Homo-oligomer: A and B are copies of this chain.
Amino acid sequence: MSVLIVGSVALDYLETPFGKMEQALGGSATFCSISASYLTENVRAVGIVGGDFPQKHVDYLTSRNIDLKGLVRIEDGKTFSWGGRYHEDMNTRDTLYTELGVFEDFHPVIPDDWKQSEFVLLGNIHPSLQIEVLDQIEEPKLVVCDTMNLWIDISLKELKAVIKRVNVLILNDEEARMLTKHNNLIEAGKKMLRMGPSVVVIKKGEHGAVLMSKDNYFAIPAYPLEELKDPTGAGDTFAGGFIGWLDRTGDVSVANMRKAVVYGSVLASHCVEEFSIEGIRDLSEEQIAERFNTFRTMSTF
C-alpha cells in the first residue's frame, strides 16, 4: 500500500513550562509522516520549505523511508514558522507569531505517480489546499482529513466542502464542539457524520480518543503520562499513526480502525514527552508494541 500525506513543514519556536526551543522541526506533514513511517513503509510527503530548511532534517526524514519527492524547496524563500507558548496546564496556548514564508503561495502538486495512492491524509492546512489535493487524487481507498480551530473560524465554508468529500474526519473535542455547536460530544459526532464522513475520530488529549460511525462507538482513555513536555504535533502524530496502521494492513473496516486509534494514541503519547519531533525521532518496534499492549491491559476488567 501507500499513504500520501499533505501538510505543512515548519521551523517552530516553542515555549512550554519545561523550556524553549528555537528552529524546532515541526509542521503537520512532518509529524504525520514520521508517525506513519513507524507503521508502514510507503510514506509520501507533499509540502514546501524555504532555503533555510536544514539539510539534516531532509536527511532524517529520508532515513525514515519517507519519500520527499513531493517536498518543494524554494531557495530564496523562508520556511513556514509558528511560535507558540503553552500555559501551565498545557491545554491552552498562545500563538506568538505566524510567518507563512513560502507557505503563502503554496499549492500542493501531487506527483503523477502518487495520484493513485491508496491512502490519503489531508494534514492540517487551509481547507482550500486540502480541496486542491482532493481534486488531484484518483480513487483512493480512504481519505482522512485532519483540521484545526483556525479553519473552523475563518474558512468554515471550504472546510465543510472538504469534510463532505472525505471518509474519516479527525479533530479534537474543542473543534468538534465549535464545528457543530453541540456541547455534547455524542451529539457533535452524530452531526459530523451527517456532514459527509462515515467515520469521525475525536481526539481528547489527556482524556483519550473516541471513534464514531453510524453503528459504532469506540472510546479509549489516554496513555497515562506523568510528564508532558510539549503537546505540539500530538494531533498530527495521532493522525499519522492512524492512517499508517490502515495502510499497513490495507483493512478499512471499523474494527481495524479501532486498532488504528490505539496506534495513533501510542505515537501521540511518545510525541508529547519531548520537544518538537524528539519524542518520535527514533522509536523501536518494541516501544510501540509495549504501549499498544498497555492500552489493552489498562482497560481490561
Chain A contact residues, CB within 8 Å of chain B: 88-89, 183-187, 190, 204, 206-208, 210, 217-222, 224-228, 255, 258-259, 261-262, 295-296, 298-301
Contact = CB atoms under 8 A, between A and B. Distances in A.
Number of copies: 2
B221 A208 contact: yes
A210 B207 CA distance: 11
A224 to B, nearest CB: 5
A184 B227 contact: yes
Contact of A301 (B185, B206, B218): B218
Contacts of A190: 226
A109 to B, nearest CB: 37
Contacts of A221: 207-208, 210, 219-221
A258 B298 CA distance: 10
Contact of A298 (B89, B219, B224, B298): B219
29 contacts: A88-B183, A89-B183, A184-B226, A184-B228, A185-B206, A186-B226, A187-B226, A190-B226, A207-B207, A207-B221, A208-B208, A208-B221, A210-B221, A210-B224, A217-B298, A218-B298, A218-B301, A219-B221, A219-B224, A219-B299, A220-B299, A220-B301, A255-B301, A258-B300, A258-B301, A259-B301, A261-B301, A262-B301, A296-B301
